[in-house]
Structure 1
Amino acid sequence: MQGVIRVTFAVVCGLTFALPSIAADRTIHYNVNLYVDPDARAIEIENRITVNGTDRLILRFADWLDVDRVIVDGTTVELDRQSGGGVISLPGRDRQIVFLTLSGDIPETIPAGSDGAALFGSSGWFPITQAEDLSYELQVTVPRPYRAVSSGRLSEETETASSTSATFISDMALEPPSVFIGPYAQAERVSSNVRLRTYFHKDIQDFSDQYLEKSEAYLNRFSSEIGPYPYQDFHVVSSPLPVGYGFVNLAYVGRMIVPLPFMQGRSLAHEILHNWWGNGVFVDYREGNWAEGLTTYMADYALEADKGPEAARQMRLDWLRDFAALPPERDMPVKAFRSKRHDASQIVGYNKAAFVFHMLKGEIGDEKFTESLKQFWAEHKFSYADWSDLRHAFETVTGRDLGWFFEQWLESKVAPEIQLSMADVHRGSNGYVSEFTIRQIGSVYSLNIPIVIETRGRLVSEHVRLSEREQTFRIQSETKPLRLNVDPSFDVFRRLLPGESPAILRDVTLAPAVDVLLLSEQSPFVDASQRLLARLLGDDTVTTPISTHGQIEKATVVLGPSEVIEEFATANGLEGLPQNDTGNTAAAWVTRLEDDLPVMLISARDGDALSALVRSLPHYGRQSYVTYAGNKAIERGIWPVESSPLEFVFPD
């Protein structure tokens, strides 16, 4: 798992009837008492709904819930039950109180048992209307030894000999609350009036202090960079499922994932930052999703940059290599991104968008960048915003028209491609002059390109503005230039040139159509291959089985026993692994044919060894090769690259 997944509300209870909208106050208030017994898989819900000025209340809720009672202003009425909810007729007064009692047996599709339960807002347990916003006060009661937690402000807790209760309040929610229940051990820390809590299963409760410490550090960091944390609580909750979900002021993380270092680092920081970008300033999805890119830049990338310039450079290069592996038909403009549906959308909506913010900071400077974000936060806290609002904040602070910048990076689905077409050096009046020409292939962008010239005794670093198809530049130096590098640290989002982008596994996994060659008829190997391919390629990829006699005409995956794959690679002139460690049980690597077609070879000792790759191999898409001992990746890497085409060594 790469990180925590944002959960955007969508009702899944299957409404099939027409829904006229309610007509008055856009906010509906709910007082809810919820009782859940995870062991019995039983649920009881008491709702007190305050409605203003409408003659009908249209509710959506799951079909597995039974309606026990409906009372409107003290009078028992009937609910017109329909698929996915129901309709209650109302007198139409300015202020009306509806009591609705529901109960049911939690279906098998919802996780519930001795390890806990997860009632996602999208599961339909919480009856909702079509109101644009909702507010609620939710009291959750569970039998001991369970505890419950939900998004919203924790306002009260009570305990009896047989049960525990907790009350959560939200004054303005964009989605129904999700409730998580488990035999949790609680740990708490209060920092700057913010309650930090972990709700962990007892076998991982020793990690609580680490999560509280990290959470406090990230809250302080982002509060300094943006503005005060907008909520009163932040909870990290362990799940019996191998998942990672993010909600307002809450992260729900698989208990097996909690101990992993990446979860305590970039993933936790990313989720906390979403309480500013996404849950603090809301995304107007009609104009795209700016929040994932900005959060990736300020959390994931910033934590890598804390390690030093080389780590930051490597992350930018990883993003560019991902983009190089993205087929043109799966590319899209940054502004067209709404949410992550597959790796291709992540490459644009997270990585490329984060790179746009990196270039914007380079364009206006660190101080103006931070000031602009603070202004954007102050102007749009708890309101909807889109890319144009971000642009307005940056233009206001800098006093510059940045329309050209946002237009070229948000509206186009291609990337600039630059070439160093000429370089020379000659003596000048004050030393030496390096003269060089940079050419743009395809669309012409306005690019702020870093140039580094290595001379005898020092480095000369400058930026040049490339805004035409081809331009020639001159840079002076006191001592003789030895080497010239164009964008050596990958600070410009661009299409990498041959020599900068070695073959990686994503060259195949991102392809829209893939041929599959299976070099084994053994049932365990065939079954394992099918499961692995489903994980590697996803539902959107068209896969076609081919025979050993066919010619490779598109991106191809070849799977088979280790000795058979080795013979196939040799017979077809394909590269093998850099080292053949006899201790390996499986391996995957990618090579390119002369016509640049990528071929992924996956070898395994047997079906069990291949099955061991199903969970982890999809996470190594940025690698050229991975070797395994059992289910553990013991070696991975990227094929070495030649000298960059954007580097020129001056002759002596």
Structure 2
Amino acid sequence: MSSSSAAADTYPKNPNIDALNYAFTLELSDTTDRIAGELALDVRFVGPGVRAVRLDLMGATSALAGKGMTVSAVTVNGGAVAYTHTDNELLVPLASTPAVNTRARVVVRYSGIPATGLKIGNNRYGERTFFSDNWPDKARHWLPTIDHVGDKATSEFIVSAPAHYQVVSNGLQLESTDLPGGRRRTHWKNSVPISPWLYVLGVARFAMQRVDTFEGKPIETWVYAKDRDAGFADFATPTKDVLAYYSDYVGPFAYERLANIQSNSVSGGMEAASAILYSEGSVSGTGSVRWRNVIIHEIAHQWFGNAVTEADWDDVWLSEGFATYFTLLYIEHAYGRDEFVRGLQSSQNTVRSFAAKNPTYTIIHKNLSRMEDVTSSHTYQKGSWTLHMLRGVVGSAAFQRGIRAYYAAHFNGTATTADFRRAMEEASGQELGWFFDQWLYKPGNLKVDGSWTYDAAAKQVRITLNQTQTDGSLFAMPIEVGVYSKGQPTPVVERVRITGKTNVFTIPAPVAPDSVRLDPNMWVLMDATFAKK
């Protein structure tokens, strides 16, 4: 399947409706896990023939042990409507077909106990907390939304909760007001369009630190009050340097602030736009390399996945593969080539292990329907390696030009793999369909059995490279060969291109080399044996 003909995922989209802003008003309590909510949704009708607004909202069912949301009222432009809420779909009818480019406000009042999506429970200190966990399509368990990765809108959270909590969300805080009865109202507004999985809410006894600013935008740390000292130390770095690096390499940071938040709703990190959630275990006071790298990865997502978002779940590698590779790029920039190479090697081992168990798996999904299958190590590690190989094929300068052009063209919007390919082809002047098809749309990995000999009479190195994968596939791939000889401070590096099952090349060499190495700069994802014959 070529990059231009991939099937879309199966979500029932309506391209004639554009969600503009979600404003969620929520009531939280210490005496019950039931939440009371109101959504005010502003929509624009960008195409003809719209008869209803469809929202995702999980209903209260026996399958969820009685948990889920119950809708009590819906209005459109202030007038009550006879909605339906069945099969986790809230359908809001319109009195008449709206004209193109007109707008409407849909207000939904609802309540219930979330089965997931919003975790209500005790943190590691036994303190009650409320934390979102919307990945990949769990926002619908507590928020009425068009719950699809490709649907982006601005958002607001207006939360009333007991006053002993602090509330954190996307964007900037507009209000914090103490209310009668020991409660507090907190209002956050995010003015940049994002996908529903990136909406975030954290309600806990926090310690908050304004760490610094980046280009005038706040950098914040939010950790449990009992983890204040350790958390402030652990999150002090490297956020600002990472923001600066990606802003320079890729393009501008999209959001109004960046907050690192300790939570108990995720096991690693969750790249919620402008307000990243990390596991409770991220805070130890040790500043571990593992969690440092998680911070880098989640900040990379602010560019890839958040600001430029995959249009369909089939293209989720545009988020996870990119964030994984750009984590390594920052590591190379900040901590050196050796740590970068170790990261590539670790990813290669992961790819090898996954491929052995899943030989038909492709990075780009084909009409994804089971959200449990949305990500795998291939979307992360093999996706990362695909970007690294692409950089090797087109050169580092063209690769960065392509990245910057792709980011600029789809900033705060959505993109497809075809869009990314187009940007890379324009930046490099190369046709890259062969590369994208074999690494993204087809399964399998390159395996090479190679050897070399030296022909003294001809003064050349003779190289044989055999493709040995057993699934019948053949790759076309440029591969560097390094010729190392005494008296030469640097090797002679030539690039050859394998295309068939058996490939033979010669490289001029005035003297017999001490050694010949395949892929000496580690640009190709392959299992290779290579020795003197």
TM category (shorter chain) comes to 0.7 to 0.9
Q: CA separation in 2, counterparts of 1:146 and 1:448?
A: 57
Is residue 201 of structure 1 aligned with residue 190 of structure 2?
Answer: no
Is residue 32 of structure 1 aligned with residue 60 of structure 2?
Answer: no
Q: CA separation in 1, counterparts of 2:209 and 2:255?
A: 19
* Alpha carbons 2:22, 2:155 under 8 Å: kept: yes
Match of 2:279 among 246, 254, 260: 254
Larger relative contact order (CA 8 Å, sep ≥ 6): 2
Match of 2:169 among 150, 162, 179: 150
Match of 1:47 among 39, 44, 64: 39
The one-letter code of the counterpart of 2:288 is P
The one-letter code of the counterpart of 1:232 is E
* Alpha carbons 2:331, 2:339 under 8 Å: kept: no
| CA shift in 2, pair 1:466/1:242, >3 Å | closer
Q: CA separation in 1, counterparts of 2:452 and 2:39?
A: 74
The CA deviation string for residues 493-522 of structure 1, in whole angstroms up to 9 with x for no partner, is 1124xxxxxxxxxxxxxxxxxxxxxxxxxx
SS of structure 2 residue aligned to 1:240 = coil
Q: CA separation in 2, counterparts of 1:402 and 1:80?
A: 48
- Residue of structure 2 equivalent to 1:320: 348
The CA deviation string for residues 279-324 of structure 1, in whole angstroms up to 9 with x for no partner, is 1112133763333222211113541575443333333333333333
Is residue 178 of structure 1 aligned with residue 200 of structure 2?
Answer: yes
Is residue 111 of structure 1 aligned with residue 120 of structure 2?
Answer: yes
Pairwise CA RMSD: 3.6
* Alpha carbons 2:452, 2:516 under 8 Å: kept: no
- Residue of structure 1 equivalent to 2:209: 187
* Alpha carbons 1:287, 1:386 under 8 Å: kept: no
Which one is further off, 154-163 or 229-238? Answer: 154-163
Identity %: 18
- 1:633-644, aligned counterparts within 5 Å? none
What is the deviation of 1:480? Answer: 4.3
The CA deviation string for residues 107-150 of structure 1, in whole angstroms up to 9 with x for no partner, is 69942353311244525222235895544332122222211122
What is the deviation of 1:447? Answer: 2.8
Q: CA separation in 2, counterparts of 1:203 and 1:339?
A: 42
* Alpha carbons 2:242, 2:330 under 8 Å: kept: no
- Residue of structure 1 equivalent to 2:256: 232
- Residue of structure 1 equivalent to 2:243: 219
The one-letter code of the counterpart of 1:494 is M
The one-letter code of the counterpart of 2:531 is E
* Alpha carbons 1:59, 1:127 under 8 Å: kept: yes
The CA deviation string for residues 372-406 of structure 1, in whole angstroms up to 9 with x for no partner, is 11111111212322222222112212222223332
* Alpha carbons 2:71, 2:111 under 8 Å: kept: yes
SS of structure 2 residue aligned to 1:256 = helix
| CA shift in 2, pair 1:300/1:23, >3 Å | closer
SS of structure 1 residue aligned to 2:475 = coil
| CA shift in 2, pair 1:111/1:135, >3 Å | same
The one-letter code of the counterpart of 2:443 is K
Q: CA separation in 1, counterparts of 2:311 and 2:78?
A: 40
What is the deviation of 1:339? Answer: 11
The one-letter code of the counterpart of 1:181 is V
- Residue of structure 1 equivalent to 2:301: 274
Q: CA separation in 2, counterparts of 1:57 and 1:408?
A: 40
SS of structure 2 residue aligned to 1:140 = strand
- Residue of structure 2 equivalent to 1:494: 526
- Residue of structure 2 equivalent to 1:404: 434
* Alpha carbons 1:149, 1:180 under 8 Å: kept: yes
* Alpha carbons 1:119, 1:125 under 8 Å: kept: no
What is the deviation of 1:173? Answer: 3.3
SS of structure 1 residue aligned to 2:349 = helix
- Long gaps (5+) in structure 2: 1-8, 61-67
Is residue 393 of structure 1 aligned with residue 423 of structure 2?
Answer: yes
What is the deviation of 1:233? Answer: 1.7
- Residue of structure 2 equivalent to 1:508: none
Q: CA separation in 2, counterparts of 1:646 and 1:226?
A: 37
What is the deviation of 1:327? Answer: 1.8
- Residue of structure 1 equivalent to 2:485: 455
The CA deviation string for residues 584-607 of structure 1, in whole angstroms up to 9 with x for no partner, is xxxxxxxxxxxxxxxxxxxxxxxx
* Alpha carbons 2:350, 2:377 under 8 Å: kept: yes
SS of structure 2 residue aligned to 1:290 = helix
Which one is further off, 274-283 or 35-44? Answer: 35-44
The CA deviation string for residues 143-199 of structure 1, in whole angstroms up to 9 with x for no partner, is 222111223x21413242742513223453321633221111111232102222221
Is residue 420 of structure 1 aligned with residue 450 of structure 2?
Answer: yes
Is residue 84 of structure 1 aligned with residue 114 of structure 2?
Answer: no
Which one is further off, 90-99 or 272-281? Answer: 90-99
* Alpha carbons 1:449, 1:486 under 8 Å: kept: yes
Q: CA separation in 2, counterparts of 1:294 and 1:59?
A: 30
The normalised TM-score by structure 1 is 0.65
| CA shift in 2, pair 1:196/1:363, >3 Å | same
- Long gaps (5+) in structure 1: 1-8, 12-18, 497-644
- Residue of structure 2 equivalent to 1:348: 378
Is residue 473 of structure 1 aligned with residue 506 of structure 2?
Answer: yes
* Alpha carbons 2:77, 2:104 under 8 Å: kept: yes
* Alpha carbons 1:320, 1:495 under 8 Å: kept: no
Which one is further off, 309-318 or 191-200? Answer: 309-318
* Alpha carbons 1:449, 1:487 under 8 Å: kept: yes
What is the deviation of 1:367? Answer: 1.6
- Residue of structure 2 equivalent to 1:333: 362
Q: CA separation in 2, counterparts of 1:190 and 1:10?
A: 41
What is the deviation of 1:86? Answer: 4.5
| CA shift in 2, pair 1:444/1:104, >3 Å | closer
The CA deviation string for residues 185-243 of structure 1, in whole angstroms up to 9 with x for no partner, is 11123210222222100232223254243111111110000111011122211113562
* Alpha carbons 1:323, 1:495 under 8 Å: kept: no
The CA deviation string for residues 35-68 of structure 1, in whole angstroms up to 9 with x for no partner, is 2124543422233344567665554434244445
Larger Rg: 1
